[in-house]
Structure 1
Amino acid sequence: MAAVNRNMFDATVTPDRPHAAQLMALPLNLIAQVVSNVDDAGDLARLCRTCRVLNYMALPQLYRHITLTSYDKIRYRDDQPEGMGSASPFSMGLNAIITRPYASLVRSLTLRGVWRELELEEHARVGRVPDSAMMLNIAVRAAVDQMTELESFSWELNTKMLETVYLGLAKLPKLKALTLRFPSSRHPRPTIVIPPMPHLRYLKITDIDPLCYPDDISTLLWKCRKLRELNLHWSPRMRNEQEPSVMVHDYFRKCIAAKQPLSVRKVGLQNLYALHTEEFNVAIDNGALEEVTILNNCGADLSMNTFVDSTWPTMPKQNLRIKSVRQDAVGRKHAEFIGSFSGLERLYFINATTNPGDDINSPRPLLPATALTPPGSDHPPSETNGSGSYAVAANSPSLQSSMRDLYLNNITLNHAATLRHLLLPARWPLSASAVARLVHASPQLEQLGFATEFSDIESLGLLLPFLRNLVALRLLVPTSPTSETQRAPPSKTARYASKSANMLAKAQSLADVVEVEDEYLIARLSEGLADQQVFHRLKVIGLGRKGFQLGDYYTVPVDEAEQGHERSPTFGLPGSAPPPKSNPPSTLGKRRREDGSSATAPDHTPSSATEEPTPAETEEVLDDPCVHKIFREGRYWRRHVRRVGWDVLQRWEIWGLDKLEL
């Protein structure tokens, strides 16, 4: 093969003309780079219609990841119905895959939403599948047969996937990820033994209900020898109606019979309402587990879990190598399980609730009530618990305190040396001594989230210098009933005063601080986090539902800094202090030197707090190698801070994994 001329990639596709399109005048490699950063499907479609060159570059990206959404009603855009003159966008998307020669470009296909099935009751009486459901599965099978390079398939429709699609997926040689969602209705459908898909590495099955659609997944699990991540989500109906109809043995019986346990690295179980048996330890190789997620969505009624959930968890006899644990419920048996092994790197206690509107610590945006976007689960409100995941009314404050101490003791003794991510419950407000013990024992922490009393926030400035690797800090508003800062709306006075910086000085709780306008919070964070030696690694900080991203450092004149401090007084954030007029505060985690103390003050310290230091004394302090120079040549250091939303915070695990989802 002849050598390729390098100049070919630097050439343009249009001659040098004064009125030529600016984009097409660029070299091809730069155009390809620009197109590769476009992720909106509408923009990619418009690029494909621009010219042949952009069509050639954007078409593979347009068809790489396809998501088709079905709605139960016609949607309108600018008073025009979607699909006017044709069919729904969902049907036209399937038609494009089947009839056009682009199916080989698809790598990921997601079908979600609501599929309308007419005359369900009549079909249920005679034991027939509705024609609309059957035709849907036939169309999807026709599309799957042509997507020879498909790697990920997700069925999130409210209707059941039939055998015809399963058989088509089993023939795909590169299918590595499969997501299935079972419907919550009880209309007759054929029971299917899901065929093996030996190349799967990721499997997620949601809304499992043995009394609705008991499809057999034992063969699928047995033959998936390359499976590395398994997520199983059961319908909350069984827990709400106290139906212990799940037999764990049925899902893994073929693995148990063949004595071939699954060597999965990640396991997630949600809403599992079943008895624990020793066979579960035989079905999954506990020595290969690295990440475990257990979500129970437990409410306030403990009688629902008395006879079934009390059998979980049990401590395996073999050595564990678990690196990550994520759960939404706490208990003594689980605390003992945490203390039965060591080497944990990530531990997340989920604080999210089933009602995002009541979560004062959640930065997630609220969906509008009229939104037609299909949810991940279309259960009616009666099928989900309205109470928070930590709402256990039967537990007394003393029991909660002992439970917190047991967890913290096991975490500190067994996992502190290796822990990198830690998210603690908001209902456990930690004292300054508890935070100090945790910080001193966990030098590797990179992301940390916890709740603390407002009176202890100032002491964090002495503790954070020990966390040299900390990049994300999340301060939660305490939600414990015994805390003075429990969930309560800000007072009327606080709401009216929130537009004034004086609100910071009058704040009595972290919840009051969160209500302050961003302008004043940013000013205090910019000043309090200006120490480059201590906070140079810190990138993001959260206060309740608010999140702030930290940028580069800059300096301001002394006069401007003092005026800014008068306009926006300090309120005890870590490191926040007035501009020093005498001795700068120490950044080594020690107590500040008190002016006027002859017993402990250095020789260059003034004898009175109101006495100004001489130029020679100030120069001597600035030359101290143990003190960070927070001001130099009449200027003070500050840091760029900006308020960020969920699009940024979700990239950090202490926010992104704080959800009741697998």
Structure 2
Amino acid sequence: MVAINQNMFEAGITTDRPGGASLMVLPLNLIAQIVSNVDDTGDLARLCRTCRVLNYMALPQLYNSLTLTSYDRIRYRGEQPEGIGSASPFTMGLNAVITRSYATLVRSITLRGGWKERELEEHAQVGRVPDSSMLLNIAVRAAVDRMTNLESFSWELNTKMLETVYSGLTQLPKLTSLTIRFPSTRHPQPTFVLPGMPHLRSLKITDIDPLCYPDDIATMLLKSRKLRELKLHWSPRMRNAQEPSVCLHDYFRKCIASKQPLPVKKLCFQNMYAFHSEDFNIAFDPTTVEDVVFLSGTDSLGLVNTFVDNSWPTVVPNKKLRIKSIRMDTISKRNSEFLGNFKGLQRLYFVNVTADSSDYLNSLRPTPGSNSSALTSPASDYPNGITVNSPSPATAASPASLLNIALNVRDSYLANIATNHGATLRHLLLSSKWPLSTAMIARLVHSCPNLEQLALATEFSSMESLGMLVPFLRKLVALRLLIPAGSPPPQNSSTSNGASRGQSAASSENPPRVNKDLGSTEGSIGWTKAIEDALLKSRSLADLVELDDELLTYMMSYDLADKNVFGNVKIVGMGWKAFELRDFYKAPILSRDESVVQSPAVDLSTETEEENPTNGTNGAGAENRSPKQPTASNPTSPSLPPNIPDAALTSKSWTAPSNPFSTLGKRTRGDDDDESGVRQAPLDLREDANHPSPNFPKRGCFPRTMTDDGQVMRRDMRRVGWEVLQHWEIWALDAQEI
């Protein structure tokens, strides 16, 4: 091995320039490390146009993963159409791969969107493929032939992929992942026997419709002996119309005939509506399956589907299952019995979002735009808002009997989870239809001590107990509180739209924002009064989540400041909001000012003239000092995060809610009741001068965790969106996606 010259790690490209420091002064390996962390495609393209060195480093990353999106109409950026002076970005991307020497850099390519096919019906009547579709497949085949290092290929266009592209993919020696989408239109198209790809490890086929495009995948499944991940998505039309046209034997007949079951590890079925056959038991090796996803896409009772769904057994005979993860959206007695027939489950996800109910109260996903709507099949519309599977009002069961059935199914699920999988469970996403009581949460927590991510719906009255049960989950890093299904909309909300809810749209009835002007406390008085009224009127979790973000972060910064209890928790979600927990820090204790007697209020100033005579201020200027401004005598005074309502802290008229409670249910305890050794700061109480009676309700601050030096512990927090939550499974996997 050639010895490495250490000077290359210290050498730069250019010397210092008169105009200032240059990036190229840094060592080459450090520049390469910086470029490798650039994810935005536009930034990578601009780096490639900067200089030759950055072009050399950024070009392989720019072409490593290509996503070309086609649109059936011309789009405009401002006043100029996309591709002005040339062609569409989609075709120009294919042209760059075909005509330039960049094809070997491509490792993954995705073709998606809508391809406009002219006179499709006329061509279908005479048995021809439109020329535009054929030319598209020829261009893609030319690009595939040049991408010799291609590892992943995704066809997500709304037109069918032809045999020309299939034959080109079989010649790629490194292709391990393939995604195929069938068109949703019902026009005659040529059918093919999909060829085998020996190196394929992941196969995903979406929008399968046997009556429209009966392409044969049996040969591909038989010859792909390295296949470890199989995802099959059928068109929702068959399940909605109770049309059992799917014959699983046709897909796996060659594996069954050759007695070579597929040794897959991940098996995903979506919108499958098919009878079970005994041959299906030998199509897969159940001892190798570790991850199972079964999504039906509907939230109706599905009484008609009973004839098909009940044909499937709840246990594989004479086989020991080794399933580690299950994700499903169907809740039934049969599924709960299936969970009780094996042990060792590590991840369990109940998908709450279905085609019938978007569950906007718990949805944090961004609103689908025009791009994503072209990639997925539209949700089926039902006449008069009634699904085909829904029983008629005359034959529907009584509400009491339906409630008893739902409770029995819920108890069966929880019992099987606690008994068979509690010791091994790591991730748990429960259904929002199950608002758990304190006793249920306690049993779940004690039987699943190794949970790392937990999402559940709880009764509003049980939130007080939740804060006492969380400390038993020592490994918990993510907690998501779901708003129970069927909950009334928030009292302060004037909209029920899921998109605006996810984006935290402001309502005219919402409490006003905090007045940041420390010199004026008139706005903060009205703000805190509105917040107090909102807290007192809160009767559900939805009402609590509807409060202003700054108040929620202010309250939770106290509630989650106990390192012994919430030290490992990194993110907390409540309904359609989520907060990232950051560092712990110390803050001065909020003391009481006996010289000021006003209406029932709490003095939240950090320190008074009498307590700290060396603060360098007089009485007139004491109230204008912000707690996050360090004093001359105390330069280490901690800086509070920017999301804390400063005006509320400095105002002497801040009114705390009566009977204060924690947003996570952490109980208010005195020094004598603290069993964990953490001292809680006493509540600041002041009796109203107009109501001197000792029976008059006191008002105080939230519970605080004291330190040995007499300060209070707080936690830095910030509101986060989908860009952060998509990396946490209890949020990312709560969707109708395989």
Alignment TM-score, normalising by the size of structure 2: 0.80
Q: Deviations over 1:166-191 (max 9, x none)?
A: 01001100001000000111222211
Partner of 2:675: 586
Q: What displacement does 1:572 show?
A: 3.5
Cα distance in 2, alignment partners of residues 415 and 544 from structure 1: 27
Contact 2:450/2:473, CA 8 A, preserved across alignment: yes
Cα distance in 1, alignment partners of residues 302 and 172 from structure 2: 46
Contact 1:451/1:476, CA 8 A, preserved across alignment: yes
Query: Bigger CA drift: 243-252 or 552-561?
Result: 552-561
Cα distance in 1, alignment partners of residues 491 and 37 from structure 2: 43
Partner of 2:92: 92
Contact 2:138/2:165, CA 8 A, preserved across alignment: yes
Contact 2:299/2:357, CA 8 A, preserved across alignment: no
Cα distance in 1, alignment partners of residues 566 and 290 from structure 2: 31
Choose which of 522, 525, 544 in structure 2 pairs with 1:513.
Answer: 544
Partner of 1:574: 664
3-state DSSP class of the match of 2:561? coil
Contact 2:98/2:146, CA 8 A, preserved across alignment: yes
Structure 2 counterpart of 1:326, one-letter code: R
Partner of 2:9: 9
Is the alpha carbon distance of 1:431 and 1:376 closer, same or farther for their aligned partners in structure 2, counting shifts above 3 Å?
same
Is the alpha carbon distance of 1:307 and 1:577 closer, same or farther for their aligned partners in structure 2, counting shifts above 3 Å?
closer
Contact 1:353/1:387, CA 8 A, preserved across alignment: no
Cα distance in 2, alignment partners of residues 21 and 150 from structure 1: 39
Partner of 2:76: 76
Cα root mean square deviation, aligned: 2.8
Q: Deviations over 1:563-597 (max 9, x none)?
A: 2796554333336456x6644633499xx9x99xx
Question: How many residues are paired up?
Answer: 622
3-state DSSP class of the match of 2:418? helix
Cα distance in 2, alignment partners of residues 116 and 384 from structure 1: 29
Identity percentage of aligned residues: 58
Structure 1 unaligned spans of 5+ = 481-485, 596-607, 611-627
Cα distance in 2, alignment partners of residues 260 and 372 from structure 1: 41
Is the alpha carbon distance of 1:177 and 1:185 closer, same or farther for their aligned partners in structure 2, counting shifts above 3 Å?
same
Runs of 4+ in structure 1 displaced over 6 angstroms? 383-388, 390-393, 492-495
Q: What displacement does 1:381 show?
A: 4.5
Is the alpha carbon distance of 1:297 and 1:122 closer, same or farther for their aligned partners in structure 2, counting shifts above 3 Å?
same
Partner of 2:734: 658
Structure 2 counterpart of 1:650, one-letter code: Q
Confirm or deny that 1:551 pairs with 2:552: no
Q: What displacement does 1:382 show?
A: 2.9
Partner of 1:341: 342
Q: Deviations over 1:72-96 (max 9, x none)?
A: 1000001100111111110000000
Cα distance in 2, alignment partners of residues 363 and 167 from structure 1: 42
Partner of 1:326: 327
Cα distance in 2, alignment partners of residues 174 and 232 from structure 1: 23
Is the alpha carbon distance of 1:416 and 1:391 closer, same or farther for their aligned partners in structure 2, counting shifts above 3 Å?
farther
Cα distance in 1, alignment partners of residues 508 and 290 from structure 2: 46
Q: What displacement does 1:2 show?
A: 5.3
Query: Bigger CA drift: 228-237 or 569-578?
Result: 569-578
3-state DSSP class of the match of 1:527? helix
Q: Deviations over 1:513-557 (max 9, x none)?
A: 010011111111111111111110011111111001101111111
Partner of 1:103: 103
Contact 2:266/2:290, CA 8 A, preserved across alignment: yes
Is the alpha carbon distance of 1:341 and 1:357 closer, same or farther for their aligned partners in structure 2, counting shifts above 3 Å?
closer
Cα distance in 2, alignment partners of residues 110 and 266 from structure 1: 22
Partner of 2:686: none
Partner of 1:354: 355
Structure 1 counterpart of 2:566, one-letter code: F
Q: What displacement does 1:375 show?
A: 3.4
Structure 2 counterpart of 1:496, one-letter code: E
Alignment TM-score, normalising by the size of structure 1: 0.89
Contact 1:209/1:234, CA 8 A, preserved across alignment: yes
Is the alpha carbon distance of 1:224 and 1:52 closer, same or farther for their aligned partners in structure 2, counting shifts above 3 Å?
same
Mapping for residues 517-556 of structure 1, pairs under 5 Å: 517-556=548-587
3-state DSSP class of the match of 1:533? helix
Structure 2 counterpart of 1:640, one-letter code: D
3-state DSSP class of the match of 2:63? helix
Is the alpha carbon distance of 1:77 and 1:559 closer, same or farther for their aligned partners in structure 2, counting shifts above 3 Å?
same
3-state DSSP class of the match of 2:374? coil
Confirm or deny that 1:631 pairs with 2:661: no
Cα distance in 1, alignment partners of residues 420 and 493 from structure 2: 46
Is the alpha carbon distance of 1:403 and 1:268 closer, same or farther for their aligned partners in structure 2, counting shifts above 3 Å?
same
Mapping for residues 81-480 of structure 1, pairs under 5 Å: 81-300=81-300, 302-317=302-317, 318-354=319-355, 358-367=359-368, 371-372=370-371, 374-379=373-378, 381-382=380-381, 396-480=402-486
Contact 2:181/2:207, CA 8 A, preserved across alignment: yes
3-state DSSP class of the match of 1:554? strand
Contact 1:48/1:59, CA 8 A, preserved across alignment: yes
Cα distance in 2, alignment partners of residues 417 and 129 from structure 1: 57
Cα distance in 2, alignment partners of residues 653 and 110 from structure 1: 24
Partner of 1:602: none
Is the alpha carbon distance of 1:50 and 1:528 closer, same or farther for their aligned partners in structure 2, counting shifts above 3 Å?
same
Partner of 1:623: none
Q: What displacement does 1:353 show?
A: 3.2
Q: What displacement does 1:376 show?
A: 2.7
Cα distance in 2, alignment partners of residues 251 and 201 from structure 1: 18
Contact 1:501/1:567, CA 8 A, preserved across alignment: no
Contact 2:16/2:25, CA 8 A, preserved across alignment: yes
